Amino acid sequence: MKYADAMLGDHREPYCELVMNEAIHAKVITELLPRATRYVWIMTADLKDMHVRKGRRFVPFLEVLADLVERGVAVRLFHAKEPGPRFREDFDKQSALLKSDLFERLLCPRIHTKAVVVDGRAAFVGSANLTGAGLGAKHADKRNFEAGFVTNMPAHIDPLVAFIDDLYLGKPCASCKRRDVCPDPIA
């Protein structure tokens, strides 16, 4: 059984795998993410222009997110700081992300979590940011040394989903001691 089938199939066996370095891109970006049917939540501290493999070519990751939104998949992107100009330039080219209510970006300077949740049924949690050297398709000799786990186990995913949902709802905002440096409080 292929990895992605084990992760999101109807008859899923408990699954937890350590993935490292370029295997993170293969498992998370090229196998798991395209199988989303309901939602994708991404958390990252750093957010940069990132290119990923899409078939035989490499495209801006934002194109992959736009494809998901166009298929009716809701995407939430949580990040700690404003992205750079190349990311914003690529973002402005993705009309699906600009116009659709299915895409949301939330900014919180306290986010340091790196996670990708797909349909509440599979997740990656690890060290890789949403950057070319982290989750992207950079050459093995140019990328960061990263590690994380991919799992479909409810004991791991359920608390992660609850944690991310609480952030989305702004629950920590009321007592946050960093509100003075927050450019866009969620609540």
Distances in whole angstroms, Cα of residue 22 to Cα of each of 33, 107, 151: 16, 27, 17
Domain boundaries, the chain: 3-7+15-170
Alpha carbon distance 114, 136 (integer Å)? 13
Alpha carbon distance 139, 141 (integer Å)? 5
pTM above 0.95, yes or no: no
CATH 3.30.870.10 for domain 3-7+15-170, yes or no, is: yes
pLDDT for the residue numbered 1: 44
pLDDT along the chain (187 residues), means of 10: 51 88 94 96 94 90 96 97 91 95 94 97 96 90 96 97 95 89 81
Helix or strand holding residue 150 (H, E): strand 147-151
Strands 57-60, 51-54: pairing is antiparallel
